Structure 1
């Protein structure tokens, strides 16, 4: 993807699905076949797919299609697959895409930030009569939450809080699949809030950060690790939160629920499944949800329905928490009438934690959530987490871009030509400099000939895809050209040189 298309994609995609710049997502298909001719008794081979886009289900489906034939035909298979993928359209949030691959058509729809939270991706798809009939992926990023959490349903409130606060967590699972799915389910349970901390769905002793993460001389980092090696039980004893998962067992007609245990009991390799932590939740358990899910299991309600109920509940819980923050953040935005063409845009007011806390009595989460507890204590701890820092920086960036867009519109709707009539050449050129700065990505200043700052500069508004009204940028370009034409010929020559 080109850098320009990255900006367009990230502008329209939900923050949880935006392209990563500092990390890759790796998806692995592993095959192990008995082979007596091999020293270890098994022939093992893996196929790895790497991307900066967090599309779990899409890449899982790709590997299911590609891997079996790859193990038979090897490189020629990959060459054919790459040729097909090269013909795919770029990902566009909000549009249904038909992706042909090895005789199969995958129909997917990447969610858009304008989608209704919790809406059905299947209903939003564009129906087409295709041959062969497409394989419709109802979602490209969500896991089966109920399957992942069925043994910890009575502790969902704790899991949600730990993820919201970005606490250091180790998931010890019996297999890489369970480890990976559980970690991905955990970080997605605070959606639509993005999990801004690091997470490793499958971490091994061969990872480069192994020594850093297992040291006892410093506090664990804000990260969620998924592991399978029993060796980690001893290594991670100093971590504050450890989920020891086993194979799902049934207690009558219900999945057996693991217990919360003291960290001091995590000592031996045969440690029983459980949540080893001293964490005390700020909010009370949602007993109505737990009862509903357990009753649904008894009634053999389909897992996808159980997952939908669970995801909807977690979504509403996160929204109840984040809406007061969004409302307060919006109040920090300068009034539109304070944006004038003759001054730089006014500044966004700084975020005051005390001021925000004072708004909770009237606009707090108790208005939309039935859960009781210490909401204020939860907010105070959230303010110290990487998730708050990431959320705030993202929202501040969006608001700054909105101010830039408003400023451009105000400039273009002003009588700037009338303003220039009684101004000197220096003042007019200074105005052009400021307007060009609005439209350019960066300024290359020169002490000798200041006018050469216009050479080879890219359009900032188009570069950042600022949301301005149709015709605004063309209008501004026309205005700049009108001003330039009113200046002496020598200045026009410099300004028109590109």
Structure 2
């Protein structure tokens, strides 16, 4: 990778990511169904970054249709001194409105002063928008329909020194646009694609698109194996977008160096997530409660890599509870939804917004929860503060009006605190233990509700008593539920019985509860209809 090392220690760098070498040649005897020769074109290594040219690059209509089962297009964005970030190519061509193109361009670049030189990945989520009056599509290519009304972008931004540039450096982002919310999968792809593109230019976009077009259909709940630029990807797709994927579902090890194992819907696991939350380790149980209670949270990070990973990780904790609020892994003041999401009014329920611009610290001062990522400086670092880089925005920590209902797991807390001072492997193990612990709490939250829901399902005798009326789930009654909760309790370790009741009273008022109940009614009704 020509981009070299990233100078900001707070960032997630490609240099520190476990990426397979695109020029590696695995032993032919060890090859499986996918091999380098099938996924990576033989292109001589360039001595420097080539200028982008899409001349001669093409895909037929059938290939594009297959490609768009997985992604919309690959986009390159450069910095223009007059207009800022600007889309310079879209391959294959894709219909974008002016508002979408501007959103993508600004979201693909860091909105942060902490980035100096190197490469860094992050992701964003923007609203899909229709044409405004007087606007026409500039291409005929029809894009895939979004599942939830949003477009997901996965960007690798690279800054390199360039003596010919007025600013002294060149800035480029490679972006994968998709209608699928698979952050771990697409983060892996853009980490592979970006350094290859920076070395070889436009042909790598064509190679990547042809690789993806040859993949099987993205059928939910399947485990797939496919090739991408010399690597073999073992990818497990979730059964549904609200399905919680488990790391234990993956095979215990790679069969060779170029094999990559991925749970598509989770936050990218490297580097270990605990590093982002080092300053708020003791507050993680409060943060989890805010997520499941649909409280809005502003997530401030020194870099878009940190903020976007944190938002994806928090969003994952909500599963299997349906997503009821909006979430933006990386959000800028240029986003078309800026005034709708950030204004003097109380923030929307369940809103998770990742930012890097210190403007948001002031604009969101009235928000009930602000999470600032990173770690507190040590005593020695404070003494040497004159030599430390300028820190903008809120200091690392948790500012909240929330009062915790449940008890912490003291054993896990000690493991997390020790891991923050330990090795990379200790951090990785602690990060997975934390995820398993908090997702198990999300499932435990639902146990009293599922228990009560069982009492609402009509018995066979009740169903047969009136065959003229289809059997239906009985109405949810708050008083009956709380009587059941008092009698049977909850697996969650509440501080007291009054805290337990107060927590569930709040949860029943969240939009998440309404969605969850509607989904349960659909499932039960389908079973009852099948019995008729």
Superposed pair shares fold, TM > 0.5: yes
The residue aligned with 1:53 is 180
* Cα pair 1:111 1:121 within 8 Å, conserved: no
Match among 255, 266, 274 for residue 141 of structure 1: 266
Structure 1 unaligned spans of 5+: 7-18, 253-267, 408-498
> Partner residue of 1:302?
426
Return the offset for 1:49.
1.3
1:332: Cα distance to partner? 1.7
Select the residue among 363, 383, 397 that pairs with 1:274: 397
Given the alignment, which residue of 283, 289, 302 partners 2:406? Answer: 283
Contact 2:160–2:169 at 8 Å: present in 1 too? yes
Kindly state the Cα deviation for residue 123 of structure 1 after the two structures are TM-superposed: 3.5
72-81 vs 115-124, which moves further: 115-124
Separation of aligned partners in 2, 1:323 and 1:175: 38
The total of aligned residue pairs comes to 372
Is 2:144 aligned against 1:31? no
Q: Compute the displacement of 1:298 (Å).
A: 5.1
Mapped partners of 1:32, 1:375: distance in 2: 51
2: CA distance, partners of 1:62 / 1:212: 32
Deviation of residue 101 (structure 1)? Answer: 1.4
Relative contact order, higher structure (CA 8 A, sep 6+):
2
Cα offset, 1:94, TM superposition: 4.1
Q: How does 1:84-103 map to 2 (within 5 A)?
A: 84-103=211-230
Cα distance change, pair 24–326 in 1 and its aligned pair in 2 (3 A):
farther
Q: Are 1:154 and 2:282 an aligned pair? A: yes
Structure-2-length-normalised TM-score: 0.63
8 Å Cα contact 2:369-2:399 kept in structure 1: yes
Q: 1:326 aligns with which of 447, 450, 456?
A: 450
- The alpha-carbon distance between structure 1 residues 177 and 117, as it changes in their structure 2 partners (threshold 3 A), is closer
Aligned-residue Cα RMSD (Å) equals: 3.2
Aligned equivalent of 2:315: 187
Aligned partner of 1:40 in structure 2 is 167
Q: Structure 2: give runs of 5+ residues left out of the alignment.
A: 1-64, 71-145, 381-390
Q: Distance in 1 between matches of 2:457 and 2:302?
A: 49
Please show how residues 482-493 of structure 1 align to structure 2 within 5 Å. none
- In structure 2, the CA distance between the partners of 1:24 and 1:103, relative to structure 1 (3 Å rule), is same
Structure 1 residue 70 and structure 2 residue 197: aligned?
Answer: yes
Q: Following TM superposition, by how much is the alpha carbon of 1:133 offset from its aligned partner in structure 2, in angstroms? A: 5.5
Question: Which whole-Å CA distance do the structure 1 matches of 2:243 and 2:398 have between them?
Answer: 35
Contact 2:307 2:329 in 1 (8 A): yes
Aligned counterparts, 1:88-487, within 5 A? 88-112=215-239, 118=246, 120-123=248-251, 134-137=259-262, 141-142=266-267, 143=269, 144-216=272-344, 218-222=345-349, 223-246=351-374, 249=377, 271-297=394-420, 300=423, 302-339=426-463, 343-365=468-490, 368-373=491-496, 374-407=499-532
Q: 1:153 to 1:251 in 2, by over 3 A?
A: farther
SS in structure 2 at match of 1:281: coil
Distance 1:111 1:210 in 2: 31
**Are 1:108 and 1:140, in contact at CA under 8 Å, matched by a contact in 2?**
no
Instruction: Supply the distance in 2 between the matched residues of 1:324 and 1:25 (Cα, whole angstroms).
Output: 35
Distance 1:178 1:400 in 2: 42
CA contact (8 A) 2:174 2:194 kept: yes
- Hey, what's the Cα distance between the residues in 2 that align with 1:116 and 1:175? 27
CA distance in 1, matches of 2:213, 2:479: 52
Looking at secondary structure, tell me which structure has more helix per residue: 1
- With 334-343 and 161-170 compared, the bigger mean Cα shift is at 334-343
TM-score when scaled to structure 1?
0.67
Name the counterpart of 1:258.
none
Shift of 1:26: 1.7
Once residues 102 and 399 of structure 1 are traced to their aligned partners in structure 2, the CA distance between those partners, rounded to angstroms, is: 45
Pick closer, same or farther for the CA change 1:245–1:52 going to 2, 3 Å.
same
- Using the TM superposition, give the Cα deviation of residue 336 of structure 1 relative to its aligned residue in structure 2, in angstroms: 3.6
Give the conservation status (yes or no) of the 8 Å contact 1:84–1:100: yes
Give the C-alpha shift of residue 227 in structure 1: 0.7
Please say if residues 231 and 269 of structure 1, whose CA atoms lie closer than 8 Å, have aligned partners that are also in contact: no
**How far apart, in 1, do the equivalents of 2:378 and 2:531 lie?**
59
**8 Å CA contact retained: 1:33, 1:43:** yes
